[in-house]
């Protein structure tokens, strides 16, 4: 069957939203999803970016006729990447490059998702960073993603590299930052939040819609896709807590250095989207307030099912 897309990493936060978007707009057969744990998912292909090579990719994908490949998967646990650099390099660079090469052999678009962690967020060279800003990754995660950008572009010069950051929104696995915040605050647990990390939070539904739109428009090269606001993590957390009727006094602003993390984080970061707005002015990315209103039914449903603290707040 022709006219299908390969969606690598469809079980993750962004991948699941992209799969839902394709189901709603193109029909259930349009996207062929993959996952490392595909055995229990009928119709899914088993694909592990950390171990795939050109031979196994061809064997797995040759029965299909694809019109594009979206590589949403990757190793995004920043702390785990720091401890397992070889695994990170395989999942974030070598594996995506193999798939990019396969896409090039078919003369079809390839999309690779990268991160603001390719920048250092140095207060002397603060963000938001444009696409052509000098990169300087501080962590294994950031370096592996930067290596992935280079390897993917070498394998497929017309690939689209989408850099994004602080992705939030509906997440069926409940793993993103907003869900962690809901769990902690609903149960009355204090939560330490970095006050010195500044970024541009990105709504996952907008990220999906804009990425697909860019592919349809024939975009190539590096593009920054993120929300329009530059916010500290603590201000972002307070906005989410207040919207959901949770006690934001449980949020303790602390410096990143107090969190005892192995991997260094960019502090004064964020991504600039001037190029995106100039070239594709119709691709609108919503503010945090607008995004929370868009998905409030999903978030409140999750919120209602959480154990409540003794002094529980009424759900809106």
Query: Could you tell me how far CA 56 lies from the centroid of its own chain?
Result: 26
- Choose the catalytic residue: 102, 141, 168, 179: 141
Tens of pLDDT, residues 144-172: 999 999 999 999 999 999 999 999 999 98
Between CA 194 and CA 214, with CA 231 as vertex, the angle to 5 degrees is 120
What is the pLDDT at residue 151? 98
- Mean per-residue pLDDT for 112-129? 97
Domain 4-170+201-224, CATH class in plain words: alpha beta
Q: Between the CA atoms of 53, 54, 56 and 60, what dihedral angle is there, to the nearest 10 degrees?
A: 130
What is the DSSP code (8-state) at residue 262? S
β-pair type (198-199, 231-232): antiparallel
Range in 38-42, 43-47, 179-183, 215-219 with the lowest mean pLDDT: 38-42
Check pLDDT > 60 for residue 186: yes
Let me know if 141 is a catalytic residue.
Answer: yes
d(Cα 188, Cα 238) in Å, to the nearest integer?
15
Tens of pLDDT, residues 230-269: 999 999 999 999 999 999 999 999 999 999 999 999 999 9
Average pLDDT of every residue of the chain: 93
Check pLDDT > 60 for residue 23: yes
φ, ψ (nearest 5 deg) of residue 70: -105, 115
d(Cα 217, Cα 228) in Å, to the nearest integer?
21
What is the pLDDT at residue 288? 97
Tens of pLDDT, residues 70-90: 999 999 999 999 999 999 999
Cα distances (Å, whole numbers) of residue 124 to 127, 163, 229, 266: 10, 22, 21, 12
Tens of pLDDT, residues 280-315: 999 889 999 999 999 999 998 998 887 765 434 333
Q: Where are the domains of the chain?
A: 4-170+201-224
């Amino acid at each position: 069957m022709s006219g299908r897309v390969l969606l690598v990493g469809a079980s993750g936060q962004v991948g699941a939203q992209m799969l839902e978007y394709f189901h709603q707009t193109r029909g259930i057969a349009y996207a062929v999803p993959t996952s490392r744990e595909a055995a229990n998912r009928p119709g899914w292909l088993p694909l592990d970016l950390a171990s795939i090579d050109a031979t196994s990719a061809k064997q797995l994908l040759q029965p299909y006729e694809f019109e594009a490949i979206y590589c949403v998967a990757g190793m995004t646990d920043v702390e785990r990447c720091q401890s397992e650099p070889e695994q990170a390099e395989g999942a974030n660079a070598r594996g995506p490059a193999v798939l990019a090469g396969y896409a090039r052999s078919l003369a079809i678009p390839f999309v690779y998702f990268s991160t603001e962690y390719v920048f250092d967020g140095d207060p002397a060279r603060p963000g938001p960073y444009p696409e052509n800003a000098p990169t300087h990754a501080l962590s294994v995660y950031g370096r592996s993603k930067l290596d992935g950008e280079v390897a993917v572009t070498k394998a497929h010069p017309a690939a689209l590299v989408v850099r994004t950051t602080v992705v939030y929104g509906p997440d069926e696995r409940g793993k993103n930052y907003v869900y962690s915040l809901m769990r902690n605050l609903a149960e009355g647990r204090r939560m330490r939040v970095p006050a010195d990390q500044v970024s541009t939070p990105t709504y996952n539904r907008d990220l999906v819609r804009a990425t697909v739109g860019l592919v349809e428009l024939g975009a190539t090269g590096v593009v920054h896709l993120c929300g329009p606001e530059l916010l500290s993590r603590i201000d972002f957390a307070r906005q989410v807590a207040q919207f959901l009727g949770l006690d934001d006094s449980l949020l303790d602003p602390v410096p990143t250095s107090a969190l005892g993390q192995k991997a260094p984080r960019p502090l004064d970061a964020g991504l600039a989207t001037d190029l995106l707005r100039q070239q594709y002015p119709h691709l609108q990315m919503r503010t945090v307030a607008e995004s929370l209103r868009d998905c409030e039914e999903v978030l409140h449903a999750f919120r209602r099912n959480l154990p409540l603290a003794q002094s529980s707040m009424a759900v809106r």
